[in-house]
Structure 1
């Protein structure tokens, strides 16, 4: 089993006034040759946007983009005419495919929005652009893993154009479980949203992460009430 620890305070950081963004992997003005990607996981940005502000219209292609609001709500518009509000407890996925242009703004004029912006390399290139979002009630992740992204249709989760599974967990203190990758050869990236836990023998706090490859299973034990995201994804891209 190979492990890499990404401490929250070692991430890249950009302060644009209206936007504070922590970059786990090289992004925009932050470059770290040891943090380009983890398998199919290319971007994990931890963003906070002030009220009334946001990202103007900009293009993407051939990337799977997942947005997870942690506080507040995002307003999404794109060049297909789609206009949606993504609230806390929603998850959004967008396959950029052959190309799409979109904007994302704080849906509130006064309150900040905090969200994760996650990019994965796609399994198939140049598919038609697609968009989907779904609400996942927090009760569904209490002391259990709640599947929110999956390549399997009719799984109850959002479909992704990649052999990747995302699960959210909200576990009480002193809970323990083993996580086994869904596919042989997949790696696991566990990101702590709040609280603390032990994973693979390492202690992780809020906004810390562990990247694990060449594993059969990953043991996780919460040290206090803890929320986290597990991403199970291909290492070969």
Structure 2
């Protein structure tokens, strides 16, 4: 029988640093909830808003798969691998931190906030050579479909990471229903609603709600209203 967990938007941790407001689905920095440490290999899901002209100074990471999905505005990225790039809404960025990296992120627009999802996954291979990738997410003509943006496969759609995980973005019109089938036995699915209302296996979810489900092979997702959401299929044991 499928097991589930629901994380309503208003139960997330909140950190307000003035220049940064972060809504945290799992324990992070000053927010600690022993019942919300991770969902399988999914360790961090932060819904961040960076004030215009501000950003994260240079800081280190190691042995973590780090995914950034901009929702509004832009972020300038610099890292110790020599990469300098701007990421914006409609793109996805990934870093395999491996043996260790330093990077910084900065909102170059002094007047508008940058909004993005910061996601960390535990890797299935430690101490790899650090790597960086960034692509545009092609959602043209893919309304009411699951659009794959991440996988473990270098030759597959989207970016790839060192983990048996698959991410999909979806924009559904109201009353659209589709079944998501898992790629790998033992994986779970974490659904994060970016906007709108959806129903996942009968559980009603609103904007910024999260829902995890595992011990099943497929999940039925219905848009109650027009909705945009992110699907994160990850190993529950790793």
TM-score using structure 1 length: 0.98
Going from structure 1 to structure 2, the CA distance change for 1:161 and 1:10 (only over 3 Å counts) comes to same
1:220-235 correspondence to structure 2 within 5 Å: 220-235=221-236
Gaps of 5+ in 1: none
**Distance in 1 between residues matched to 2:143 and 2:108, nearest whole Å:** 28
C-alpha RMSD over aligned residues: 0.8
SS of 1:139's equivalent in the other structure is coil
**Alignment length (residue pairs):** 237
Look up the match of 2:33.
32
CA distance in 2, matches of 1:61, 1:200: 36
SS of 2:140's equivalent? helix
Q: Which moved more, 1:151-160 or 1:43-52?
A: 151-160
Q: Which residue of 2 aligns with 1:109?
A: 110
Cα distance per residue 1:51-108 (max 9 Å; x no partner):
1100000000000000000000111000122100001100000000000000011131
Q: Is 2:124 the counterpart of 1:123?
A: yes
| Counterpart for residue 176 of structure 2 | 175
Q: Distance in 1 between matches of 2:82 and 2:159?
A: 21
- C-alpha distance in 2, partners of 1:222/1:184? 26
| 1:184 counterpart residue number | 185
Q: What TM-score, normalized by structure 2, do the two folds share?
A: 0.98
3-state SS in 1 of match to 2:148? strand
C-alpha distance in 2, partners of 1:140/1:121? 33
For residues 18-57 of structure 1, the aligned pairs below 5 Å read: 18-57=19-58
In the alignment, which residue of structure 1 is the partner of 2:96? 95
Q: Deviations over 1:100-156 (max 9, x none)?
A: 000011131221000000000001000000000000133254110110001112112
The 8 Å contact of residues 94 and 129 in structure 1, kept in 2 or not, is answered as yes
Distance 2:110 2:222 in 1: 40
CA distance in 1 between partners of 2:224 and 2:140 (Å): 20
- C-alpha separation in 2, matches of 1:33 and 1:180: 30
| 1:219 alignment partner in structure 2 | 220
Aligned residue in 2 for 1:161: 162
Alignment match, 2:72: 71
- Whole-angstrom distance in 1 between the partners of 2:86 and 2:197: 31
Deviation at 1:39, TM superposition (A): 0.3
Aligned-partner Cα distance in 2 for 1:216–1:181: 5
Deviations 1:22-60 (A, max 9, x none): 000000000000000000000000000001100000000
Give the Cα–Cα distance (whole angstroms) in 2 for the partners of residues 137 and 226 of structure 1. Answer: 18
CA distance in 2, matches of 1:140, 1:186: 29
